[in-house]
C-alpha cells in the first residue's frame, strides 16, 4: 500500500558531524512535505517544510532535499549537537486527502559527545 | 502565549470507563486533529475536524468519539469500546489555507489503564 517510510530506524553520529535522515514516499500526488522533531515525552516540533515544486530548502543548520523522480526526501543537519538527539518524522500531504498528513515511522537520532 | 494546550498530562482509566482528553488552541486555526502514538511508532490519525461542527474519522476511529462545538476546542473521548487505550495522544491544529498547511502539536496526554 501507499506509505511514507524511513530507510533507517536508528542513526548514531558523533557531535559535530553532519546527519542525514532519509524518507521514502510512494504517492506521486503528494504536494507538501514536513519534517518534525520529537523529543522523548513531548509533542512533535516543526523543523522545516518543502513543496513539491522545490528541490531544496534551507533553514538554520537544516536542509531538506526532495527528489521527486525517486520519491525521496532527506533531512540534513549540519554540525549535529547533543540537543539534536530525538526522533525525526517525515510527513506528506496528499492532494486527495485535504489537510490530512501521512507520517512516516520515525528515525531515532543519537548524538554521541 | 499562542499555542496548543492538552490536559491532563497523564490520565488513568479504569476498565469500562470513558475518559475525555482536552485540547485547546488559541492560534485561530480552523482545523484540528487527534493522533495516537504507540511506543516506538509513528502517529496514527484518530479523528480530524476542518471546521466547527464538522469532523471526520481518521484511520483508527473505532472506540473514540469527538466533538467540535467551538473553534478553539476539540475534546477526544476514549470510550470503553477501545480495548487497548494505553498510548500517547497528540492533538494538532492547522489552518487549511494554501501555503499554511503545517500542523502544530500540543504537548500530549499519556493515557494509562489501571
Per-residue pLDDT, B98: 64
A40 contacts chain B (CB < 8 A)? no
Q: In what order do the strands lie in the sheet with A72-77?
A: A4-5, A19-25, A72-77, A62-67, A56-58
B108 contacts chain A (CB < 8 A)? yes
Cβ neighbours of residue B73 closer than 8 Å, sequence gap 6 or more: B22, B23, B24
Band (pLDDT 50/70/90 cuts) for residue A97 is confident
A106 contacts chain B (CB < 8 A)? yes
A7 has pLDDT over 50: no
pLDDT (average), residues A106-111: 95
Cβ neighbours of residue A53 closer than 8 Å, sequence gap 6 or more: none
Per-residue pLDDT, A29: 87
- Per residue, the 3-state secondary structure of B38-49, as one string, reads CCCCCEEEEEEE
Selected for mutation to probe chain A from B23, B43, B92, B112 (highest A CB count within 10 Å) is B43
Per-residue pLDDT, A1: 36
Per-residue pLDDT, B2: 63
Does A41 sit within 8 Å of B43, measured CB to CB? no
Q: C-alpha dihedral over A6, A11, A16, A22, to 10 degrees? A: -10
- Nearest CB to B42: which of A32, A34, A105? A105
User: Per residue in A59-70, pLDDT tens?
Assistant: 999 999 999 999
- pLDDT averaged per 10 residues, chain B (length 114): 88 91 95 93 93 95 98 96 93 80 94 90
**Nearest Cα to B84, choosing from B67, B109, B63, B69?**
B63
User: Per residue in A34-89, pLDDT tens?
Assistant: 999 999 999 999 999 999 999 999 999 999 999 999 999 999 999 999 999 999 99
Averaged pLDDT score across all residues of chain A: 90
Per-residue pLDDT, B41: 83
Per-residue pLDDT, B1: 52
Between A and B, how many residue pairs show a Cβ–Cβ distance under 8 A? 48
CB A46 within 8 A of CB A97: no
Does B90 sit within 8 Å of A43, measured CB to CB? yes
**Nearest Cα to A60, choosing from A81, A91, A43, A41?**
A81
Does A99 sit within 8 Å of B50, measured CB to CB? yes
Q: CA nearest A37 in B: which residue?
A: B105
Bridge partners for A101 per DSSP = A93
CB A34 within 8 A of CB A46: yes
Selected for mutation to probe chain A from B7, B103, B106 (highest A CB count within 10 Å) is B103
User: How many Cα atoms sit within 13 Å of A50 on the Cβ side?
Assistant: 21
A6 has pLDDT over 80: no
Q: In the structure grid, which three cell numbers stand for residue B73, read together?
A: 476546542
Band (pLDDT 50/70/90 cuts) for residue A27 is confident
CB B111 within 8 A of CB B87: yes
A2 has pLDDT over 50: no
Amino acid at each position: 500500500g501507499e506509505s511514507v517510510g524511513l530507510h533507517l530506524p536508528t542513526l548514531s553520529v558523533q557531535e559535530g558531524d553532519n546527519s542525514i535522515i532519509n524518507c521514502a514516499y510512494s504517492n506521486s500526488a503528494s504536494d507538501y512535505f514536513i519534517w518534525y522533531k520529537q523529543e522523548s515525552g513531548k509533542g512533535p516540533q516543526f523543523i522545516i517544510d518543502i513543496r513539491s515544486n522545490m528541490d531544496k530548502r534551507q533553514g538554520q543548520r537544516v536542509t531538506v532535499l526532495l527528489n521527486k523522480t525517486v520519491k525521496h526526501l532527506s533531512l540534513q543537519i549540519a554540525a549535529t549537537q547533543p540537543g539534536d538527539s530525538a526522533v525525526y518524522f517525515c510527513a506528506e500531504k496528499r492532494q486527495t486527502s485535504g489537510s490530512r498528513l501521512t507520517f512516516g515511522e520515525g528515525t531515532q537520532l543519537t548524538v554521541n559527545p | 502565549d499562542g499555542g496548543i494546550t492538552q490536559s491532563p498530562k497523564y490520565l488513568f482509566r479504569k476498565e469500562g470507563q470513558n475518559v475525555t482528553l482536552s485540547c485547546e488552541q488559541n492560534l485561530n486555526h480552523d482545523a484540528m486533529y487527534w493522533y495516537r502514538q504507540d511506543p516506538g511508532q509513528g502517529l496514527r490519525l484518530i479523528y480530524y475536524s476542518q471546521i466547527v461542527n464538522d469532523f471526520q474519522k481518521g484511520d483508527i476511529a473505532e472506540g473514540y468519539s469527538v466533538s467540535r462545538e467551538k473553534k478553539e476546542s476539540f475534546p477526544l473521548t476514549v470510550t470503553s469500546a477501545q480495548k487497548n487505550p494505553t498510548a500517547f495522544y497528540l492533538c494538532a491544529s492547522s489552518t487549511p489555507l494554501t501555503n499554511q498547511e503545517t500542523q502544530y502539536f500540543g504537548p500530549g496526554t499519556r493515557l494509562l489503564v489501571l
